[in-house]
Amino acid sequence: MPMYHALGEMPRKRHVQFRAPDGALYVEEVFGLEGFDGPESILYHRRSPCRITNAREFEPRPITEWVPREWAHRHLRLADFPAQGDPIRARQPFLYNNDITMWYVRPTEQQSYYYRNGMGDEIVFVHEGSGVLRTMFGPIEYREGDYLVIPRGTIYRFEMAEGSTPQRHLVLETPGHFSIPKDFRNQYGQLLEHAPYYHRDLRRPSEVEYHDEQGEFELHVRINDGFQVYELDHHPFDVVGWDGYNYPFAFNIWDYEPKAGRLHQPPPAHLTWRGPGFVVCSFMPRMLDWDKEAIVVPYHHSNLDSEEVLYYFNGNFASRKGIDISSVTLHPSGVPHGPQPGLDEKTIGMHWTDEAAVMVDTFRPLKLASAAEAWDDPAYKYSWNEDRGVDGPITGD
């Protein structure tokens, strides 16, 4: 949750009369979480946000599961993901559980409609591309490396910059809420001195983008594992002002301040966001461990009750072989993993890493979506075999 923010016109008090120049009452909307006990914003609309002219037939879009024949480490080559469609409808899920769904998209087309996720909060990590995220709270310019944190219920539309397609977006969706970790904040919500980012790094809407147009507009709502399309007779960005704590914002991963230590620091040292049943971490270029006997790659470890997902977007990862930019690795629970053969010895004496990756650690098992099968690298699970490298198993399948 970012700090209090206010834009545009508002009345002197909540829940009192607030009129447009023509005398009509503006419509107040409380946009809140956890009933009336969580973070909220209050918005003032020209027209009722409930107003629609038509509700089209619901479009079910359930996620189907791919169940491989073996429980093993996975490498998904998302570099090969097709470039097509718009930033919303072309998203494909690849990993999911009850706490989080991970999607990928390489959009080439502009959105012709407005979108609201009614199923959960979103973080859109912009690997490639730039443009403007236009929202009912106001516009946010985005660029490569941005985490776009979008609360559930926000109406928005991507406007991709000219010459900036195809883009690459990694999308994280949770039925709960993304939050700034509480150990980064004091009792008043202010970010502490040891936090890896500060309020100045969070880019909020800077102006209200008020539209009073009437006409034909489409609002696509993700709900109940599908899409509900509503037709409107007015522009959905009819907000003249708002204030509160619940609104979208951007944070660029290159503004993250990584931690280093005399000996290897575990993934929680790179914590960025929390959600129910998972965390999101940012691995960024940094100094490596400086003890004269340090082994600078991660030690082998077993994720006994968690699953580790890494999305590699820049640099080189010292502990992995056969990994490309836009690769995703899944190291599931119950199976140990660590540096591949020879890398612990080879990297001794290194003082710097330029690795850049987004990590999601979940505390419940993940399922593979059916689309993931097309990008699966079947050799990856054998890449710890010293005499075969990443080529395949020691013995046949």
Does the pLDDT at position 343 exceed 70?
yes
Q: What is the DSSP letter of 385?
A: B
Q: State yes or no: pLDDT of 396 exceeds 70.
A: no
Mean of the per-residue pLDDT values of the chain: 93
> Per DSSP, what are the bridge partners of residue 114?
219
Q: Give the max Cα distance, the chain.
A: 80
Q: What's the confidence (pLDDT) of residue 222?
A: 98
> Which is more confident, 253 or 347?
253
> What mean pLDDT do residues 207-232 have?
98
Query: Looking at residues 228-257, what average pLDDT do you find?
Result: 98
> Are 101 and 371 a contacting pair, CB within 8 Å?
no
Q: Domain residues of the chain, as ranges? A: 5-68+83-253, 256-382
Residue-wise over 37-67: b if at least 16 C-beta within 10 A, else e?
A: eebbbbbbbbbebeeeeeeeeeeeeeeeeee
Nearest-Å Rg of the Cα atoms of the chain is 23
How far is Cα 206 from Cα 204, in angstroms, rounded to an integer? 6
pLDDT beyond 60 at 390:
no
Express each pLDDT in 162-199 by its tens digit: 999 999 999 999 999 999 999 999 999 999 999 999 99
> What's the DSSP call for residue 16?
S
Share of the chain above pLDDT 70, in %: 96
**What pLDDT, on a 0 to 100 scale, did the predictor assign at position 292?**
85
Nearest to 95 by CA among 156, 153, 170: 170
Span 85-142, pLDDT tens digits: 999 999 999 999 999 999 999 999 999 999 999 999 999 999 999 999 999 999 999 9
Contact assessment for residue 133 and residue 125, using Cβ atoms and an 8 Å cutoff: no
pLDDT of residue 267: 85
Higher pLDDT: 36 or 108? It is 108
pLDDT of residue 323: 84
Looking at residue 141, what is its pLDDT?
99
Domain 256-382 has CATH 2.60.120.10: yes
Kindly report the length of the chain.
397
Q: What is the mean pLDDT of residues 304-315?
A: 93
- Please tell me the CATH superfamily of domain 5-68+83-253, with its number: Jelly Rolls (2.60.120.10)
The helix (run of H) or strand (run of E) holding residue 205 is: none
Give counts: helices (H), strands (E), the chain.
Answer: 1, 30
Specify burial of residue 389 (Cβ count, 10 A radius: 0-12, 13-18, 19+).
middle
Q: Which two tokens stand for residue 393?
A: 């198993």
Q: Is the pLDDT of residue 394 over 60?
A: no
Question: Do the strands 59-60 and 367-369 form a parallel or antiparallel pair, or are they unpaired?
Answer: unpaired
Residue 135, helix vs strand vs coil: strand
Q: In sequence order, what are the residues at sequence separation of 6 or more whose Cβ sits closer than 8 angstroms to the Cβ of residue 1?
A: 39, 179, 180, 189, 245, 246
Model confidence at 397, pLDDT cuts 50, 70, 90, reads very low
Question: In this structure, are residues 351 and 193 in contact, taking their beta carbons and an 8 Å threshold?
Answer: no
The whole-number pLDDT of residue 181 equals 95
Same CATH topology for 5-68+83-253 and 256-382? yes
Task: Please list the residues that pair with 218 across neighbouring strands.
Answer: 231
